[in-house]
Amino acid sequence: MIATVINAVLVLAGSLIGILFKNRIHERFSSSLVMGLGLCVITIGIISAIRTENILTVIICMVLGTLIGEAARIEDRLDGIGEFLRSRLAGRGENSRFTEGFVTASVLFCVGSMAVMGSLEAGINHNYSIIISKGVIDGVTSITFAAAMGIGVAFSALPILIYQGALTLLAGWVGPLLSESVVTEMSAVGGAIIIGIGLNMLGIGKNRIRVGNMLPAIFLPIAYIPFASWLVSLF
């Protein structure tokens, strides 16, 4: 858990720096930096996604996971949490991007190969290097995010604590039971979701991709891969 706490603290620190220097960063530069980060996010997603050993696994898990997320309205619930915090802490009259910053940063910082692999490694082998490295990247990213989208980015530290902390604790119990292929495909699915985040950051497409509703997909390889192996063995 200590590594996850460090990750959250780095995000808070980066967000505060971004907010403090917000007025010194011209909107044109902020917009360009967000676009540049969007390209970097897509690159990170591609790197994770292409590690898949079975693209059919990624496709099926993305389809089923998205259906589950749409039924559960995860994206709407994330928006609801952001709006609640904004109304309580940011003030109803402020024309801010609190929700966008909270949701975008939360999904970006919580989904991906480093979050999954880092939490598993911390839970199973008590090796915190991956999560701490991720924390440094998140901290640097949060500076620009907070400068562009406001204080909502800082509150993404809470989902980081809950998500990565829960994964780390869970990994201590079930991690040894997960095969290498399951972890690989979880990371690949996470990479596909991260690509969606990058596309949203760049504003590509008529409608925003509801990446929050895709989050269940990242966990489906845990069930799908054993099921697929059993199905193949029947034939």
| pLDDT at position 12 | 93
Q: Nearest Cα to 110, choosing from 4, 208, 233?
A: 4
Q: pLDDT tens-digit profile of 99-158?
A: 778 877 887 788 665 777 778 778 877 878 778 888 888 888 888 888 878 888 888 899
| pLDDT at position 93 | 47
> What is the DSSP-derived secondary structure letter of residue 111?
S
Q: Nearest Cα to 192, choosing from 57, 32, 4, 36?
A: 57
CA 30 to chain centre: 21
Residues of the chain under the 50 pLDDT cut: 92-93, 95
